[in-house]
């Protein structure tokens, strides 16, 4: 992997190709296999940490051949990259199911669900979105990956607000983007700073209150 701020021509550093998954599963059997690999990966990470994790041990824990794991992940960095993408896809699916498609909710409840699902740093569905992952994030993510996550979250948030048929006035796309930056950036900082549980709870409550208040008092 290249290091520093770029090469002599000023180009940004690029990741080692082995830090990228080779492919994503599409068939049911392959999806089942990769999910088993991810589950084993999480268990070993939580037990032994990043330094104690190897692809061979993950394959053994998942009950798959090491060659099968290498069909998808040429390194443990690639495995982490694939898992983070998998976790973000799961987040987007939860936002769609429990916010966008939840037609029985009034707008304040829907928006509170949207904020909390997006920015809760202690979400049990994403056990590896933690301080240790952020410390090695530079090994698996380029600026384009961060931009993609922001664009996908912003798009899902716009869908959520559009689904609020009882909302008196819709916020602009610029405002929605600003809110996504605020809550997602705050979540990442909570993971980095690791505030006390009561401080995190107060922050989550403030995010909900701030956005709902802005919506309630829009002209």
Look at the chain and report how many structural domains it folds into.
1
Q: Which has the minimum average pLDDT: 6-15, 41-50, 122-131, 145-154?
A: 6-15
Instruction: Please say whether the beta carbons of 189 and 129 come within 8 A.
Output: no
CB atoms within 10 A of CB 97: 11
Cβ partners under 8 Å of residue 120, min gap 6: 187, 204
Is residue 112, in this structure, part of any structural domain at all? Answer: yes
Is residue 140, in this structure, part of any structural domain at all? Answer: yes
pLDDT more than 90, % of the chain: 64
Is residue 2, in this structure, part of any structural domain at all? Answer: no
Instruction: Please say whether the beta carbons of 55 and 76 come within 8 A.
Output: yes
| Per-residue pLDDT, 7 | 43
Instruction: Please say whether the beta carbons of 75 and 18 come within 8 A.
Output: yes
| Per-residue pLDDT, 136 | 85
The pTM of this model reads 0.85
CATH number of the domain residue 33 falls in: 1.10.357.10
Is residue 155, in this structure, part of any structural domain at all? Answer: yes
Mean pLDDT of 199-211: 94
* Domain, as residue range, for 94: 17-216
Is residue 143, in this structure, part of any structural domain at all? Answer: yes
Is residue 204, in this structure, part of any structural domain at all? Answer: yes
């Amino acid at each position: 992997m290249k290091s520093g701020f770029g090469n002599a021509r000023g180009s940004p550093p690029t990741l080692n190709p082995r830090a990228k998954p080779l492919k994503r599963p599409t068939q049911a059997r392959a999806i089942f296999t990769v999910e088993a690999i991810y589950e084993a990966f999480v268990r070993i990470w939580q037990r032994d940490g990043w330094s104690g994790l190897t692809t061979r041990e993950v394959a053994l824990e998942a009950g798959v051949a090491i060659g099968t794991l290498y069909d998808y992940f040429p390194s443990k960095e690639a495995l982490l990259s694939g898992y983070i993408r998998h976790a973000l896809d799961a987040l987007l699916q939860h936002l769609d199911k429990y916010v966008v498609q939840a037609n029985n909710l009034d707008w304040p409840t829907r928006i509170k669900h949207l904020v909390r699902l997006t920015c809760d740093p202690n979400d049990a569905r994403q056990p590896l979105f933690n301080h240790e992952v952020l410390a090695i994030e530079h090994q698996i993510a380029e600026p384009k990956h961060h931009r993609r996550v922001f664009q996908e979250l912003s798009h899902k948030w716009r869908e959520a607000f559009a689904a609020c048929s009882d909302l008196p006035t819709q916020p602009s796309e610029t405002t929605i983007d600003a809110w996504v930056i605020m809550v997602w950036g705050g979540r990442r900082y909570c993971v980095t700073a690791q505030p006390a549980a009561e401080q995190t709870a107060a922050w989550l409550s403030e995010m909900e209150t701030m956005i709902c208040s802005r919506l309630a008092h829009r002209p």
